[in-house]
Chain A
Amino acid sequence: MSYPDPDEPVAPARPGVRPFLQSGPKHSIGGYTPTGEQPPVEPTQTNTLRPFVITAGRTDGGDPDIGMETQVTMVPGAPPSRLSPETRAIVSLLEESPTSIAEISARLRLHLGVTQILIGDLRAAGQVDVQVLENDTPDPETIMRVIRGLRSIS
């Protein structure tokens, strides 16, 4: 076992113990506990079209069904409706294949929160379907399939 030279400026001191003992639930991670009570902080970006312009002033995603990996599909034969450039871009992306929220956000360079709001709009307008999974927690069979799938790659 060799330690880096402590006099070496880039060498860090021996790491301190994770201060978990003094962090009761009240002061864990800056007061944050995984209860889901804290509202997300809303966007502040000034270098491009500001997100709230695209969402017509709304900053609240509002739809708890829509997560980052949630799959969105086109509704076949949906009635035509007036779409903003952003929502039209989403629809044409979905024409190719079902896509996740995160991929839509990344490919169209829309903020994640903006994408969630726009998908909520399109869903309400009957233009897209959002896949809702019955069970939130993954079942052993699904995990086994992922394991087998991963093992098969080289």
Chain B
Amino acid sequence: MDFDPSANRVVGTARIPGGAAPKKAPVPVKIIVAGGFGVGKTTTVGAISEISPLTTEAEMTSESVGIDNPGQATMKTTTTIAMDFGVLTIDQTLKLYIFGTPGQTRFAFMWDDLVKGALGALVVVDTNRIDDCYPAVDYFERAGLPFVVGVNTFNGQMGYSLDEVRWALAVREDVPIISYDARFRGSVRDALLVVLDQALDKAIRMKS
């Protein structure tokens, strides 16, 4: 059975909107929010996104089933790679995507796709489990992606000072290490602005 091929389909008297809607897609830009399970990635994404964070599921290697270690902080378990992301419309022609991605080594196969064209990354750190962020830091360093280490202060508490975190991570001096609170929009915005500052530096260096 064939349908009327007209682009402006008419159902009853109501015209299906869309024919006249602006069909030009905005230019997407993205920032990666990486970190271990339960460090506050989704909270971070949700705080800045104009929509409730959406979840997309990607494939997971079978070897990783059952070895998630969310630490003592949560009872979180997962059987697929759920990636949360949010959207922020900058203007009609520019849309910022914020992707939260698991920072574990075994998910590294998907990071190449993720960082392609990314502006930069925010590596979220829980001072109770600093080790969780090592693979992400290693990866972003090697990939040459501008990144910022953001220590999520949760309830205003940090187990270690930023200097101690820097010592543990042994990142280059020009990698900013900041503290922020993933629950507050202004705090997340400021953290992302630091990421963008790094991204801008790199973009200007690349251009000249």
Q: Find the A residue at minimum CB distance from B137.
A: A18
Bits for A3-38, please: 1 = Cβ < 8 Å to B, else 0: 010000011101111111001010011101110101
Give the interface SS of chain A, mostly helix, strand, loop or mixed.
Answer: loop
Residues of A within 8 Å of B199, CB to CB, are: 138, 143
Bits for B8-35, please: 1 = Cβ < 8 Å to A, else 0: 0000000011110101111111100000
Residues of B within 8 Å of A138, CB to CB, are: 29, 117, 119, 199, 203
Assess A154 versus B91: contact at CB under 8 Å? Given A41-B59, A71-B26, A113-B58.
no
A74 touches B204 (CB 8 A): no
B25 touches A131 (CB 8 A): yes
Bits for B91-106, please: 1 = Cβ < 8 Å to A, else 0: 1001111010000011
Give min CB distance, A34 to chain B, whole Å.
Answer: 4
A140 touches B169 (CB 8 A): no
Residues of B within 8 Å of A73, CB to CB, are: 23-25
Give chain A's interface residue range (CB within 8 Å of chain B).
35 or more
Assess A30 versus B55: contact at CB under 8 Å? Given A80-B3, A95-B18, A149-B88.
no
A76 to B23, CA, bound (A): 9
Is B56 interfacial (CB-CB < 8 Å)? yes
A74 touches B23 (CB 8 A): yes
A136 to B113, CA, bound (A): 12
Besides A106-B55, A140-B203, 16 more A-B contacts (Cβ < 8 Å) are A16-B131, A25-B142, A28-B138, A29-B105, A30-B108, A44-B59, A68-B85, A70-B28, A72-B25, A96-B17, A98-B24, A98-B26, A105-B56, A140-B204, A146-B90, A146-B119
Query: A-side interface residues toward B, CB under 8 Å?
Result: 1, 4, 10-12, 14-20, 23, 25, 28-30, 32-34, 36, 38-45, 51, 67-74, 76-80, 95-98, 100, 102-103, 105-107, 109, 111-113, 115, 131, 133, 136-140, 142-147, 149-151, 153-154
Query: B-side interface residues toward A, CB under 8 Å?
Result: 2-3, 5-7, 16-19, 21, 23-30, 54-62, 72, 80, 83, 85, 87-88, 90-91, 94-97, 99, 105-106, 108-117, 119, 128-131, 134-135, 137-139, 141-143, 159-161, 164-165, 167-170, 185-186, 189, 192-193, 196-197, 199-200, 203-204, 206-207
